[in-house]
Structure 1
Amino acid sequence: MPNVRPLTLALAFSLVTVLSTNDAQAARKKPAARAPAVSAACTDFYETTNGNWLKANPVPQTGAVSALGTLADNARTQQRQLLDRAMTAPQGNVQKLLGDFWASGLDEAAVEADGSKPIAPLLTRINAIKKAKDIPASIAALHQVGIPVAFNFAPDVDLKALDRHIGYFMQGGTGLTDPAFYTRTDADTVALMGRYRAYVKQILALTGTPAAQLDAESALVVQLETELARSAHSVADINNPFNNYAPVSTKDLNSRYRNLQLDAFLKAQGVNDDLVSLADPALFQQLNSMVTRLPANQWKAYLRWRVGDSMAPYLSKAYRDAEFEFRGRVLRGQTIAPSRPEAVLDAINVAAGPMLGHEYANTYLNRDTRRQAGIMVDQIREAQIAAVKRSTWLSAEAKTEAEAKLAAMKIEIGTPLRDLDYTVQPMGRGSFGGNMLIASTWRHAQEMKRIGKGNADRRWDVLPQQPSIAYDIAQNRLIVTAAALQGPIFAGNASNAEKFGAFGGLVAHEVSRAIDVKGAMIDAKGELRSWWTPADKSAWTLLGNRVATQYSAYPFPGVKDAKVNGELTRDENMADISGMEIAFEAFSTAQADAKPADKQDFFKGWAGLWAQQLSPNEAVQRLRTDVRAPGRWRSNAPLSNLPAFGASFSCKPGQPMQRTDAEQIKIWR
């Protein structure tokens, strides 16, 4: 329901999406008395470390299973358990609110009896529209409750002042997010649009359109959305943050778009800033004309459809079934609808995620774990600074800026250091749909409060209850969520060496992003400028070319005769290699007396993260689109470039897990 952030500046490494597959090798049987020519660890460390896991988790028929996926599943189980306890024995007001929210969602009989009642006030307002002048206020009112119609409006970083957010007016308001669906004429798209029109009719019927008018009103809705789509940019274009940035004075909005009443829109959202970004004036000029050019009845049908579609997952079974049949089966490829508890948990995370995150961290993250993680992060950062100082390819001026940026990096572990209010308005155990609107209205208001000076570092773009370690490039901060601080990343019973290999490796991966080719776009003061010299850029490109070539030689597990796409995965692969270099250096400094077994545990900690199994279809999809290498190579490739790994397991240069010195890629060592 809330708007998605329009820009793509934040480089987030979401652990729950890092999946791979097993590439089981067909090993020939050898006489039992003969030892293998090369030890198992020096042949395939991924298989050696994860063999038992791979046997216990066969290739699935659909989707993927992984060690990190299990972590994500465990975090969801923890959230459900927390909500169950809050429902029966709440500890404090926040848990009481959450428990009531949870109870209202689980009460299917009450949800069914509620029918369309939760959205009745919204529909009544829409049905009261008489003239064109009534339309802008209805648009603003729906945005207030977290249902964006006609266009999108959301906060994001001001590219000329990264310490603040401004509001971005952008294209949106259509039921299909890709504008191309509305204009393509190929057979598949035509068939999809047929299914879409049928879904629009279902929702219109549920929101009050008489049967005799369904064909006409659904056609009006699709016609309005098609007009928006024809003026919209491609998904690729709007994913470029610089294409979306065009600051204008809020004082000029009314004179340009008088019919849309954008000044009144901003006031309704609680926004009083002097600037907004509006990068597509032609689209908003068209919208401005559509307000008066299109009949009021067409706008009413469109607005009712958008309300019903947005709220469908939270209403009665007729709504939920219609939404799942189109969005679940057709668009997302799901075969089975999520269970009621899973669906309600998703809803709570959408509407009141920060509120649940606050309680999650209080419940599942202890102070000692947070302290240990913080110490390790600081050790990783110091190792990265030391590596920058001795770099042979980075220029002197770039070294100075890199050191300053790393020193200035903010570290936030568990929950946001600064946050806006996380407590939603009081809710009860009555209407789940009503509670969703209350929570969504609160969440939208909190998002609007991010707009203005000094608010840019408030709130994360990931929730504390979602496993993630991420580098926020715009704010130069490292984010470690509460849910990430458990096994297999930071298991309580793991040795310090294992934690350095797993958690430290992931942290070092992200810290390196502050000073890589994208990190070099923003300096230590948070200003958008390139601080690398041409020679620095050339050196990085040469390193990247070698990495791409190396990974392109690896077979892609699960896809016959396919190789890893080294170009697509280049940046992440470089960060993995950097991460292992820096994490091992930090470990060696922190534990100077480490025994051989400790060093082996370090590498096992890293390899254990990447145990993965992909279904055949998932493997093909990942080959084409995933910017990360399969788990086998995330495990093995960085280690094969690291002499310390070979020394720990007595691997000889030229063996699969130990490249020769000439072949090894060295980024920061």
Structure 2
Amino acid sequence: MPTLRPLAISLGVSLAMLVPVHDALAAKKKAARAPAVSAQCTDFHDAANAAWLKANPVPQTGATTALGQLVERSRLQQRELLDGAMASPQGNVQKLLGDFWASGLDEAAVEADGSNPIAPLLTRINAIKRAKDVPASIAALHQVGIPVAFNFSPDVDLKALDRHIGYFMQGGMGLPDPAFYTRTDADTVAVMGRYRAYVKQILALTGTPAAKLDAEVASVIALETELARNAQSLADLNNPFRNYAPISTRDLNGRYKNLQLDAFLKVQGVNDDLVSLSDAALFQALDGMVTRIKPDQWKAYLRWRVGDAMAPYLSKAYRDAEFEFRGRVLRAQTLPAPRWEQVLDAINVAAGPMLGREYAAKHLSAEDRRQAAWIIDKLRETQIEAVKRSTWLSAEAKAEAEAKLGALKIEIGTPLRDLDYSVQPMGRGSFGGNMLIASTWRHREEMKRIGRGNADRRWDVLPQQPSLAYDLAQNRLIVTAAALQGPIFNAQSSAANKFGSYGALVGHELTRAIDAKGALIDARGELRSWWTPADKTAWTLLGTRMATQYSAYDFPGVKGAKVNGTLTADNNLADLAGLELAWDAYRAVEANAKPADQQGFFTAWAALWPQQLSPNEAAARASMDIEAPGKWRTNGPLANLPAFGASFTCKPGQPMQRTDAEQIRVWR
């Protein structure tokens, strides 16, 4: 119900002067029975985040969010750490990082270095004389972190989730979607025109004489187009089951003699007995291309791929060419990032785990780890009890869920298994050279993930990147060092605050372990569905009800648009489940908390989600975002919680408190 308007109040006073006294008293009594709804019971997101919203107006482009500000803060922390490592390194790893950082910030040295960092790679490519020289050059470029012709990387063995195997997959194209090479619509033709110009610039910079430029550009585009014609669509590529086809490494050479894939694996340091190669037709085509395509065409292609991959880390001519195409055309950027951000991104690409190790050592205390782990333990206990009393899970599903939660691994701050930090000394002489040294190290450590018992060697997120995530394949909860700061976690804050923010996010991820996707992997790490048909139906009904609720919400900043309840349903269900679990865990810890203290729980949840979206950003998110807008990530689940209504005296039927019949329950 809206608050009383000034005009209505003044009109009421005028009428009171014209009616008998007893009628005026009756009118006052009637008004008293219909008080205005408080701001907290109308729109908790805006009420709780009023100061933040005032301090952060709607941006002209992009988005401003509380969690985005956390990401920016973590980047500034990384910058400060690298500045310190450059000035006064503490240990060998900081010395490596400090030199890497210094070499990147010295733009004059980068400019003077020109193409020197990639000169040895270009010399090797230019020495190709025969078809049998091509596979060795492909392998050597993969070894320094520049994948050409195809992609090869570690991923989970879908039949043995405790190990990683190497996946041979399509790649080697300069455009992100194979369809660019085959579509003929006007927009695609325009992009291809810009792409050809970019290829020409890079080839010129890597040594192609002017008289040969057009011919070499045509050769590169023709080779990439042949790769694209044999490639899968992006939809198929993103389906892990379409890309899983294990094959013994002993069988590779018999099938693909020209590619010399056994020699390729040895160069990468891979000695496993199994790889995945799902697209046999593509690699058969590649095998034929090795001998059919002339060496000079391969040399042009390989020089282009090296120049393109290394362009952001070389002199200004390279960087400008890369930004004009990849920045402006593909990433829709208007200006390049500041130099320090470019160098930081480069270090995270090539030496991210190295920086993460130092970041955690500086920004994560033993007490932070202890508290973070203690809250996870409380949430896990609460989740197990919620499973036991669930009215919609079957007995067999309850048993499996309890076993899986009991087996859950927890890693906080950094991965449990450390890396080998032995790398060549970097020095401060060449940023591009340092990039290749670090990239070679990172590739080496990636290859070590391949083999039995190595699947948990690394995370797919860096410790210096704020993240709290459930790793489905390894049944582990990952909390990065950068996530353990405000607004997610503050060791000095109240229990209500910690459980309402960090605890609710932990609950969100714990539910992922046993929801519809989590139910595809059992407690032993085997790929099988352990839900009964009735369990699946119950979850689908919950998702449908949630989709209906959110589809009625207006999308902020987009006139006439509604939230896509179906697209966001999974996250919305997990938000509600996480809050249910976190509230129960908090009340178990502080059973005698006063209502005013309890309010801090919900305020902490709201503090995670304030956001301001530019009109273009809002329109883009409305059509494709799998997460609801911040207003509804705050208000949507809270309106389903009786505990919220009790804390703020919100009555059923008011905007922030759904009636009992409307409320969705996951674990309560």
Q: With structure 1 as the length reference, what TM-score do the two structures score?
A: 0.95
Distance 1:441 1:416 in 2: 21
Amino acid at match of 1:316: S
Correspondence 1:66-465 to 2 at 5 A: 66-465=65-464
TM-superposition CA deviations, 1:376-434 (whole Å, max 9, x none) = 01101111111000000000000000000001100111111113324543210110000
Distance 2:281 2:214 in 1: 31
Give RMSD over aligned pairs.
Answer: 1.4
Q: Is the 8 A contact 1:463 1:481 kept in 2?
A: yes
Correspondence 1:432-581 to 2 at 5 A: 432-581=431-580
Distance 2:64 2:629 in 1: 13
The alpha carbon displacement at 1:27 in A equals 10
TM-superposition CA deviations, 1:31-66 (whole Å, max 9, x none) = 799996111110000010111111111111111001
TM-superposition CA deviations, 1:614-660 (whole Å, max 9, x none) = 11111111111110000000000000000000000001000000000
Q: Is the 8 A contact 1:384 1:582 kept in 2?
A: yes
Distance 1:540 1:425 in 2: 53
SS of 2:149 mapped into structure 1: coil
Distance 2:410 2:597 in 1: 27
Distance 2:544 2:522 in 1: 25
Amino acid at match of 1:61: Q
Q: Is the 8 A contact 1:424 1:439 kept in 2?
A: yes
Q: Is the 8 A contact 1:497 1:598 kept in 2?
A: yes
Amino acid at match of 1:48: A
Distance 1:608 1:494 in 2: 13
Residue in 1 that maps onto 2:26: none
TM-superposition CA deviations, 1:112-153 (whole Å, max 9, x none) = 000000000000000000010100000000000000000000
Amino acid at match of 1:160: K
Distance 1:165 1:413 in 2: 22
Residue in 2 that maps onto 1:609: 608
The alpha carbon displacement at 1:491 in A equals 2.3
Q: Which runs of 5+ in 2 are unaligned?
A: 11-30
The alpha carbon displacement at 1:30 in A equals 6.9
SS of 2:171 mapped into structure 1: coil
Q: Which has the higher contact order (CA 8 A, sep 6+)?
A: 1
How many residue pairs end up in the alignment?
Answer: 645
Q: Which runs of 5+ in 1 are unaligned?
A: 1-24
Task: Tell which deviates more after alignment, 233-242 or 28-37.
Answer: 28-37
CA shift in 2, pair 1:387/1:57, >3 Å: same
SS of 1:253 mapped into structure 2: helix
Distance 1:337 1:31 in 2: 54
Distance 2:413 2:660 in 1: 40
Q: With structure 2 as the length reference, what TM-score do the two structures score?
A: 0.95
CA shift in 2, pair 1:352/1:476, >3 Å: same
Distance 2:59 2:436 in 1: 38
Amino acid at match of 1:667: V
Amino acid at match of 2:83: D
The alpha carbon displacement at 1:504 in A equals 0.6
Runs of 4+ in 1 over 2 A off after TM superposition: 25-36, 422-425, 491-494
Between the two proteins, what is the percent identity of the paired residues?
Answer: 77
Larger radius of gyration: 2
Distance 2:246 2:194 in 1: 39
Residue in 2 that maps onto 1:10: none
Amino acid at match of 2:308: D
Distance 1:32 1:59 in 2: 33
Amino acid at match of 2:540: T
Distance 1:350 1:29 in 2: 59
Distance 1:608 1:471 in 2: 22
SS of 1:523 mapped into structure 2: coil
Amino acid at match of 2:99: D
The alpha carbon displacement at 1:493 in A equals 4.0
Q: Is the 8 A contact 1:253 1:263 kept in 2?
A: yes
TM-superposition CA deviations, 1:173-223 (whole Å, max 9, x none) = 100121011111110000000000000000000000011111110111011
Amino acid at match of 2:582: A
Distance 1:525 1:115 in 2: 53
